[in-house]
Structure 1
């Protein structure tokens, strides 16, 4: 609705300000045939009435001058001309342009207050002969409303732009006069053109405006449309000269003896006119504001690109230079890998086998969260050294907490059931834990199903996001998210903050922010690669990103207190949260405005400039993509689809943000959703045999409890929960999703602080 309203406002503003505009009276060139123009009009007087039926004309009284001024009112020249008229005690007729009336309504009121007369000169100063009949009616009607709104009057006088004397009328002009006559207008032409629009000098203007003989004249001059200093000077000399010669000055109606054409406007016209003036003035303000926002957004985007590129380069140097191995001695202790699973039968085997193929000792715990597709049965049937825990469906956070309670080791890796690890991923992702300050490590998630445009676009997004943004977060020590697909944690750090919270729909972001606020450092390890399935349809992508974005908003709101804290929490708040707010919320909200304004610029402004700016920003994105792909060791081929991404994928992403923001503000409920699995994951080579060398720990490594003969742990008949481990309380029944226990001195927030809880239902879906 806002986009449609903005588009309508810009369309009106563009039409009224850029479609035509004031030009000199010779701009239309030579006229055509005049066979349809009645003879009595061609040879008659300059004031033409009843053109649609029985046209008749009126001439100016002898020795009478009707001064007329076109193209105003102008804030500079109209007041000076009015001052000249007042000093000489004469009145004139001003044919006003609607857009100028809207811009300067106070001048219209002064014209009338000084005793002068008002006529209309169309709304945007087009050549009416070149417009369709409906456009002509619109031009006249809108000008009439503008005058009614500005001064509370209407007028029957009309002077078409680019008109001159009677004998210059052609057939196209006559069709305009007939349509205007049918609408009740009296057309006023001229008999003396001062040609002040030529700016040929004061003497020339004065000479052209001076009548020859005693015949009455309608003198055409201009109070707008450019520099009218010569007009003011010539008028100051012309009026006293003609008065001295015995000429009288009158308005057009007084000069030809017609009834007063200016009358009080009705209440309806006056109110409509006021609304039109406010609407167009509001449009001018909106365009100005949009221009400021466009420059600001452009500057911020360029600054962001420079910052992330510099940060990525520095991050790479730190990791590959002489300080690249500064984490400490190699981490060799075993790792507990938790795989929360809900209806993951399509990919769970590949995920488990890839974990067993790790070149680091691992304990694998699959927590089946009430799957209905036989996920747990499938894992058990593989007869692999994997512990399977069944629980009633309670949601992903509950599954992760169950896995934490069952974990044997202090280092824990969490991996989604639709994700495949490389053999060295576990070993690589736990190396930063050599630094005791590190509480969590983000790995490098990569898209496995890259076919088609949608797959390529998500591949580009993942590569750029993980290899530019996360490097920046790492350097700034404000990592907001350890992805659920590939993340490692200290178990005791998670226990200290009460485990995984279910208060938000982005449990990974909420968890990461809580660790940062608790003083733990969260880092990025680009070498820990995991392959995950991305949505293969626009509807599936929409659902996934909608939950991610909504959950991120919840987490940002929940941890907003970090903005005013010190230490690690302050870095998260003033760096990470501000970055997310700016680039993942505010700029996406502005994106539709950018698109609408770009179309506005193509139609009404300079299309070459607009296209040039679009290509400049596209080039900037391409350079960022090329560098990110280089950092990640990826071939840059998919980047050819980047221009197409701007017309589909980009709009989808900002619409997701818009819907998420409105959902959050309105307090609407959002269901957990599960992404469709496609079975495109494959276990790495060597993962088929769990007793292969890849799964054997290196000499001296302690092994997890052996599963001799692949014996399974005791079954959880009736979905009984495992016993508590190390003081970690079991999750309470998640009916209504209660908030987690207080941690780190921060009391739990009120239920989502404006974000409603997910609805209660029998099955909690998640991915």
Structure 2
């Protein structure tokens, strides 16, 4: 064992390097980036919840009790007219004057039927009152604006079309207030008219609904019921709708029709015939406010009061002022904000749905391609006649970069001591402060390893440590491994055999998670076996391997030096040099039988740090080598095939994949619970099948797959946030130094086989 000369001891504190200064700036930006990632996920969740709420899929959309008594309701109300007010705090009903029709429409606005109904009303110069659902108003504000500008009236029909009779006071307030805000944002008005969903004539008021009308009456609302119901929602035919909407014996009536809630083509056709018929019989049409003014004028005349009566059928601004009020102040701005938020939701959720369909198809296609190519790769490389060429038996150099690896370095050297292939070992101590270098020397001495050299350097990062090792290597093949990794006895021999092919410049080994009995370890074990190794088999056959893992990889020394060594330009020096070797014309392959055992992070914080470095470093490497897209010839294969695959499947789809879970939850709550659950289970089943096949290829135990459903629910969400964090970092700039993960040294020297 020899020791390379060390640099002179530092007698004074040195100034921070450029990399360290950049690292400090990047570290200072991490917390805002994490917050931004969380806020983005929260915003998308809120958009989905808002969209579901607007579609009125949640919260009692039908009456939950029937046959309630009406003992608390005054007889005058039960037997009174369809217009209920609380003038002076006392319940009072008004009837529509004779030969007068207060035409009302419920459940709109609807983008298909409401405009057609407005066309009919405009053709006959007839006003109407539309009791609108707030969620529909916020989705189609332009229709409401047209409706009001045409001279029609609007009233509140709740925000989600819920039966208010059995709701809490807070829910009642919310339903009314939100509808008023929607009207303010859509047309700049509020209204004093109200019609409860599922209401009919006043004799249907019961002890559950009466307190709601009392409360709203005290707040200044006029509740509007019906005298004559067209029952157009039953689609009985045009003739029946006209017949059922006709009052008896010249009486006035509040007539109910619908402009939403289903196919309203019969209503549109019947409306024109109905207007013509009623006008021919001498009826005039007015709004609810117009009917109220006429009724009040008649009452005044009958009581001998003074004042002029409003002419029947009158309409216009003066009359509309009785129900409509201009929205001002915070109500107006909150209403506009609501409409804007709904517009975002209306665009985002469908776009997200379409995007997730594309992502889902792409992910399923990738799974299929991975399985097919992995099977082909396994059969090809495990054939008896398969050979890379003459066996590689010459010695190689194993480089072990180490920074504060006292917990693991002894296990690493012990595993290398059992190597069946001749090796020299270079431990590059990157400015460790925990005695790693001395421990490495002591371990080598204890084991009688004369082939170990310890090279010390000031802390400069992993790429610099690896380059130092390459410069000091005595052999033309170098194996690179992490200081927390252990090799099986046959690992090095298996790893270097592909170099029998003179076109091979680098070989990726099979990284295994050693501490897989923890939750995080089990998650990473599944990911390593299913994702990384299936991926590498696929990329190997496609000749566009994107990454030689830092835990286990082998290189031709001349190839490493030819591309400038390990670069410090990115956090993913392994991905960086792999792409560089592709572009230099070297072939990069995967050797599944060369296994290395590494220690997974022991906490979520450590896992976040690791994956952040990986994902951000990958983005940096892809951006650095973006010109590979235009490379020509064999060296351009990575740009033509590998670059698009990595961008799509390691950056784009992972960002959207976790949203599938969020969208599944949305579908379960707002759309169809059973169908959404079955779809999610089907996707999980496909993933389990792929994972099981990957485990079979690697001869792993299937029991770890029991953790996969939880991994899909929790692990993917964390990876989503990590990727968002990385994307934000990429946009804002900044770098991080070689981050040291806390190790326990629990991954010992492995047995000769996986398992």
TM-score (structure 1 length as normaliser): 0.84
Could you say which residue in structure 2 is the equivalent of 1:288?
350
Which of 401, 407, 414 is residue 340 of structure 1 equivalent to?
Answer: 401
Q: Which residue number in structure 2 is paired with residue 571 of structure 1? A: 637
The reply on whether 1:241 has 2:277 as its aligned counterpart is yes
Contact 2:137 2:183 in 1 (8 A): yes
Q: Give the match's secondary structure for 1:61.
A: coil
Q: Cα–Cα, structure 1 residues 465 and 21, in superposed 2: closer, same or farther, change >3 Å?
A: closer
Q: After TM superposition, give the deviation of residue 520 of structure 1 in Å.
A: 0.8
The 3 A distance-change label for structure 1 pair 145 and 315 is same
Partner of 1:475: 541
After the TM superposition, which residues 591-670 of structure 1 pair with which residues of structure 2 at under 5 Å, given as runs? 591-670=657-736
The alignment status of 1:17 with 2:55, answered yes or no, reads: yes
CA contact (8 A) 2:86 2:218 kept: yes
- Could you say if the C-alpha distance between residues 170 and 346 of structure 1 is closer, same or farther in structure 2, counting changes exceeding 3 Å? same
- Structure 2 match to 1:395: 461
Q: Identify the range of structure 1 (134-143 vs 262-271) with the bigger mean alpha-carbon deviation.
A: 262-271
The answer to whether the 8 A contact 2:232-2:266 is kept is yes
1:303 to 2:365 alignment: yes
Shift of 1:485: 1.6
Deviation at 1:247, TM superposition (A): 2.8
Deviations 1:512-563 (A, max 9, x none): 1211111111111111111222222222222222222222222222112212
- Cα drift, residue 96 of structure 1: 2.2
Match of 1:209 in 2: 245
Match of 1:314 in 2: 376
For the structure 1 residues 520 and 51, does the alpha-carbon distance in structure 2 shift closer, same or farther, using more than 3 Å as the test?
farther
Mapped to 1, the partners of 2:499 and 2:88 lie a distance apart of 90
Kindly indicate whether the alpha-carbon contact (under 8 Å) linking 1:46 and 1:190 is maintained by their aligned counterparts in 2. yes
Say which SS state the counterpart of residue 647 (structure 1) adopts: helix
1:754-765 residue pairs with structure 2 within 5 A?
none
Deviates more, 1:454-463 or 1:380-389: 380-389
Deviates more, 1:79-88 or 1:416-425: 79-88
Decide whether aligned partners of structure 1 residues 379 and 85 sit closer, same or farther in structure 2, where only a CA change above 3 A counts: closer
| Paired residue secondary structure (1:646) | helix
1:162/1:360 Cα in 2 relative to 1: closer, same or farther (>3 Å)? same
Distance, in Å, in 2 between the alignment partners of 1:357 and 1:90 is 96
Alignment of 1:219-234 (within 5 A): 219-234=255-270
Residue in structure 2 matched with residue 166 of structure 1 by the alignment = 202
Paired residues of 2:486 and 2:749 also in contact (CA < 8 A): yes
Matched, 1:8 2:46: yes
Deviation at 1:52? Answer: 9.1
- When residues 35 and 569 of structure 1 are mapped into structure 2, their CA distance, relative to the original with a 3 A threshold, is farther
Query: Alpha-carbon deviations, 1:212-257, whole Å to 9, x = none?
Result: 2243222222222222333334333333333333333322222232
Secondary structure at the aligned position of 2:89 is classed as coil
Match of 1:46 among 72, 82, 102: 82
Deviation at 1:87, TM superposition (A): 4.0
SS of the aligned residue for 2:594 comes to strand
1:272 aligns with 2:339: no
In angstroms, what is the RMSD of aligned CA positions?
2.4
- Using the size of structure 2 for normalisation, the TM-score is 0.86
SS in 2 for 1:364: strand
Cα distance, 1:444 vs. partner? 1.0
Paired residues of 1:20 and 1:125 also in contact (CA < 8 A): no
SS of equivalent residue, structure 1 residue 344: coil
Shift, 1:568, TM fit? 4.3
Contact 2:231 2:244 in 1 (8 A): yes
* CA–CA separation in structure 2 for the residues paired with 1:500 and 1:532: 21
1:53–1:685 CA distance, 2 compared to 1 (3 A): closer
> Residue 472 of structure 1: CA displacement?
1.0
**Pairs within 5 Å for 1:127-142:** 127-142=163-178
What secondary structure, in the 3-state scheme, does the structure 2 residue paired with 1:338 have? strand
Q: Which consecutive unaligned segments of at least 5 residues does structure 2 have?
A: 1-38, 297-318
Distance, in Å, in 2 between the alignment partners of 1:52 and 1:161 is: 26
Judging by fraction of residues, say which structure has more helix.
2
Counterparts of residues 396-475 of structure 1 (less than 5 Å): 396-475=462-541
User: In the superposition, relative to structure 1, how do residues 494 and 605 fare at CA in structure 2: closer, same or farther (>3 Å)?
Assistant: same
CA 1:311/1:218 → structure 2, altered by over 3 Å: closer, same or farther?
A: same
Does the 8 Å contact 1:52/1:182 carry over to 2? no
**Can you list the C-alpha shifts for 1:428-457, whole angstroms capped at 9, x where unaligned?**
111111111111111111122222222222
**1:557 and 2:557 are equivalent in the alignment:** no
1:572-597 CA-partner distances (Å, limit 9, x unpaired):
22322322222222222224533332
Decide whether aligned partners of structure 1 residues 458 and 247 sit closer, same or farther in structure 2, where only a CA change above 3 A counts: closer
- The secondary structure found in structure 1 opposite 2:507 is strand
Pairwise CA distance, 1:336: 1.6
**What are the Cα deviations for residues 646-675 of structure 1, in whole angstroms up to 9, with x where unaligned?**
233222222222222222222234242212
The number of residue pairs the alignment matches comes to 683
The residue aligned with 1:529 is 595
- Are residues 454 and 79 of structure 1, via their aligned partners in 2, closer, same or farther at CA, if it must alter by over 3 Å? closer
Task: Describe the superposition over 1:353-383 as per-residue Cα deviations: whole angstroms up to 9, x where unpaired.
Answer: 3223222222222222232222222333342
TM-superposed CA distance for 1:678, in Å, is 1.7
Q: Give the deviation of 1:419 after TM superposition.
A: 1.8
